[in-house]
């Protein structure tokens, strides 16, 4: 949604590997060349390890593209294969039918010898090798013994997380460990490389302006990401969204801080959350990719302030007016070009037209009514629609959130306020309060950007309906 705003031809920080975005700095290009040499000239197993999100899969994709045409590649992405399935999967990748063959190893060896005689070399690349069962790793050891004369018939590359080194360090893995002749480690980016990496991705995506990230923002993002490229991509992408929503053309400390809060790669606790747990999960990445999972992060401190300080609501008067001395939650909806979607219509009337007097319900009664209605609305909406998150509270702070719901209803049409319960990955239950349903993320972002200044300081956030629906009512 921010491509035109920054003059981009495509998203610069996708987490799925696109080889044109391969960054060759920070010794990554050197590692790729060494890996190629080891595969083409080595006589044993090759191992590549790196932390989660360090860029191993990207490196493997680039490697696969750059291998010469005489290489036949078998790529195994499923590490949970049994030892029999390993053999059959390799055969399938090489277009060999061994399913009905009695001596499969012999048949595979004959096929490999024929390829060797024709000047072809077989390379088996096993991703996520750290998750392989021990018996499957033993099968890999046996396959590495296949030879013709003095030449190996199959070059095997094991790619995995540091747990692979731990597994290979066990005593019963000694024979396999001894066959590894080349080991490579993909280290995280150093802080001094982060700025260059970010701008390389931006330039590759079509950006032609000056350096977009301030030095302070680069340092903040580098520290939070710990140099892991997947985290860098997530943080940079969220920072771009934050800048777009605010109409900015540079990523400074405000945008970097917002991205860090939304991602929460390092668990933090604040205020009333200190005793209860981590807070709200925000799927900002899912907003861009359509995924329905969630990242779990700290709730902005301003949300906590609202839920902690809201006073019990009195019975509603015949006509509702804002209470100027209370910390009310107010939202200005999007303009007609980006209207919220009503559960039954394509556009919602303005708050003034909808905000009829509330019946004198107790906050708890209103809370229950909106909770049930929200279930119906969320189940009917497209998973690709979006809503604006206003606040959240742990289940044990339900009373405070109920009071806040009444406060919000003084300014917003009650039919546009939604409540949903969920549980974070630590098993801590909470409620979320959101407003509106929008057809696309751009419309939701525009609505968010037009919120009053005092509310935008509270960092309202976007959620996909699919992401919310995947979390709802997980008791």
* Whether pLDDT at 287 is above 70: no
Every domain of the chain and the residues it spans = 27-186, 190-263, 274-471
- The position carrying tokens 């032609």 is 208
The pLDDT, as a whole number, for residue 366 is 84
Q: Is 171 helix (H, G, I), strand (E, B) or coil?
A: helix
Question: Are the folds of 27-186 and 190-263 the same?
Answer: no
pLDDT digits (tens, 9 = 90+) for 187-244: 999 999 999 999 999 999 999 999 999 999 999 999 999 999 999 999 999 999 999 9
Mean pLDDT check: name the lowest of 135-149, 264-278, 374-388.
Answer: 264-278
Highest mean pLDDT among 121-130, 265-274, 462-471: 121-130
* Model confidence band, residue 364 (pLDDT cutoffs 50, 70, 90): confident
Six-digit token string for 223: 């520290």
* Whether pLDDT at 392 is above 60: yes
Give strand ranges (E) for 235-312.
Answer: 281-282, 295-296
Q: Helices 441-449 and 229-246: crossing angle, nearest 10°?
A: 60
Q: Which fold has domain 274-471?
A: Alpha-Beta Plaits (3.30.70)
CATH C-level class of 27-186: alpha beta
Burial class (CB in 10 A: 0-12, 13-18, 19+), 131: middle
The pLDDT, as a whole number, for residue 190 is 94
Closest to 263 measured CA to CA, from 293, 213, 225: 225
* Whether pLDDT at 256 is above 50: yes
Is-contact 444 340, C-beta < 8 A? no
* Model confidence band, residue 310 (pLDDT cutoffs 50, 70, 90): very low
Residue 241 neighbours by CB under 8 Å, 6+ apart: 1, 2, 284, 445
* DSSP single-letter state for residue 213: B
The pLDDT, as a whole number, for residue 158 is 95
* Pairing of the two strands 281-282 and 295-296: antiparallel
Q: Helices 215-225 and 191-204: crossing angle, nearest 10°?
A: 110
Alpha helices in 191-252 (DSSP H): 191-204, 215-225, 229-246
Q: Which residues lie across from 233 on neighbouring strands?
A: none
190-263: CATH architecture: Orthogonal Bundle (1.10)
* Pairing of the two strands 429-438 and 386-394: antiparallel
Q: First CA to last CA across the chain, in angstroms? A: 34
pLDDT digits (tens, 9 = 90+) for 69-128: 999 999 998 878 888 888 888 888 888 887 777 788 888 999 999 999 999 999 999 999
Predicted model pTM: 0.57
Q: Helices 191-204 and 229-246: crossing angle, nearest 10°?
A: 60
């Amino acid at each position: 949604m921010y491509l035109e705003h920054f003059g981009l031809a495509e998203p610069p920080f996708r987490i799925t590997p696109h080889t044109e975005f391969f960054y060759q700095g920070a010794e990554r290009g050197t590692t790729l060349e060494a890996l190629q040499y080891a595969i083409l000239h080595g006589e044993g197993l090759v191992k590549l390890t790196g932390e989660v999100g360090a860029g191993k899969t990207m490196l493997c994709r680039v490697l696969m593209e750059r291998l010469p045409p005489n290489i036949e590649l078998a790529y195994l992405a499923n590490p949970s294969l049994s030892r029999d399935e390993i053999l059959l999967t390799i055969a399938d990748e090489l277009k060999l039918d061994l399913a009905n063959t009695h001596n499969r190893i012999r048949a595979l060896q004959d096929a490999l010898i024929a390829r060797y005689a024709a000047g072809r070399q077989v390379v088996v690349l096993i991703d996520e090798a750290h998750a392989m069962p021990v018996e499957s790793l033993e099968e890999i050891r046996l396959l590495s013994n296949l030879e013709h004369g003095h030449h190996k018939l199959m070059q095997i590359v094991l790619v995995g997380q540091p747990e692979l080194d731990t597994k290979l360090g066990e005593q019963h893995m000694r024979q396999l460990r001894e066959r590894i002749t080349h080991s490579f480690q993909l280290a995280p980016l150093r802080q001094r490389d982060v700025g260059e990496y970010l701008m390389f991705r931006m330039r590759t995506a079509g950006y032609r302006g000056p350096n977009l990230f301030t030095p302070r923002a680069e340092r903040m993002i580098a520290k939070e990401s710990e140099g892991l490229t997947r985290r860098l991509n997530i943080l940079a992408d969220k920072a771009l969204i934050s800048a777009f929503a605010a109409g900015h053309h540079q990523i400074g400390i405000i945008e970097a801080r917002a991205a860090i809060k939304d991602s929460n790669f390092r668990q933090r606790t604040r205020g009333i959350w200190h005793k209860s747990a981590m807070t709200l999960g925000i799927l900002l990445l899912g907003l861009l990719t359509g995924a329905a999972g969630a990242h779990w992060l700290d709730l902005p401190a301003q949300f906590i302030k609202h839920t902690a300080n809201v006073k019990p609501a009195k019975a509603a008067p015949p006509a509702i007016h804002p209470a100027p001395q209370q910390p009310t939650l107010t939202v200005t909806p999007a303009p007609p070009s980006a209207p919220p979607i009503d559960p039954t219509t394509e556009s919602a009337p303005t708050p003034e037209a909808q905000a009829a007097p509330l019946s004198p319900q107790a906050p708890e009664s209103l809370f229950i009514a909106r909770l049930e209605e929200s279930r119906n609305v969320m189940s009917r909406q497209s998973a690709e629609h979006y809503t604006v998150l206003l606040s959240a509270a742990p289940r044990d702070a339900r009373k405070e959130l109920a009071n806040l719901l009444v406060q919000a209803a003084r300014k917003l049409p009650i039919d546009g306020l939604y409540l949903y319960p969920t549980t974070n990955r630590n098993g801590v239950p909470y409620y979320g309060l959101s407003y509106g349903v929008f057809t696309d993320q751009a419309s939701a972002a525009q609505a968010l950007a037009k919120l009053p200044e005092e509310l935008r300081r509270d960092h309202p956030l976007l959620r996909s309906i699919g992401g919310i629906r995947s979390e709802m009512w997980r008791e």
